Amino acid sequence: MSRSTEQTTTRADSPAVSSARNTAFSVLMGISALAVLLQGLWAGIFLEHDGQRDAAGSWIDVHARGADVALAFAVLGTAYALWKRRARKDLWIGGLVFIVLIVVESYLGGQIRDASKDTLTAIHVPLAMAIMALAVWLPMRAARRTS
């Protein structure tokens, strides 16, 4: 390997460059995690008005938009990991699982609201906690220098 190629490879793989790339992943996933955390706040507000659909309705809409934000940033973070950090299977596979769980969570939420399947709340709420745990785990995992 020529000296210049060696220098380029060393620079691209340096811990500083690697860590900067993971920072971008962590920021995108961190924003998604914040949106997931806020879902609990919006839910707390509309559940306070349980039974009064007009008062609760707009906060359920905020909750629905929050799900969109969480999903959008999860997709961006996972796409970034797939594109720039393909070697870090833990990050993009974790991101794909995160996306699937948010989609399932949103589907269950829609069933609770649109099909009045209130019993699904017993899955929707604990699943939200599992999603929150994954949302915290992903940036922590990204901070580990495994490649």
Smallest separation (angstroms) from ligand HEM to the CB of 41: 9
Nearer of residues 22 and 66 to ligand HEM, judged by Cβ: 66
Smallest separation (angstroms) from ligand HEM to the CB of 82: 22
* SS3 label, residue 36: helix
Nearer of residues 22 and 78 to ligand HEM, judged by Cβ: 78
Residue 56 corresponds to which tokens in the numbers above?
A: 């609760």
Smallest separation (angstroms) from ligand HEM to the CB of 124: 5
Nearer of residues 21 and 62 to ligand HEM, judged by Cβ: 62
Q: Are 106 and 71 in contact (CB under 8 A)?
A: yes
Binding site for ligand HEM (CB under 6 A): 36, 39-40, 43, 60-61, 63-64, 67, 70, 102, 105-106, 109-110, 112-114, 121, 124-125, 128, 131
Q: Are 91 and 141 in contact (CB under 8 A)?
A: yes
Which residue number is nearest to ligand HEM in terms of Cβ? 109
Interaxial angle between packed helices 89-114 and 15-48, expressed in degrees from 0 to 180 and rounded to the nearest 10: 10
Smallest separation (angstroms) from ligand HEM to the CB of 118: 8
The full DSSP string for 64-121 is: HHHHHHHHHHHHHHHHHHHHH-TT-HHHHHHHHHHHHHHHHHHHHHHHHHHS--GGGH
Q: Are 63 and 43 in contact (CB under 8 A)?
A: yes
Nearer of residues 85 and 124 to ligand HEM, judged by Cβ: 124
Nearer of residues 79 and 123 to ligand HEM, judged by Cβ: 123
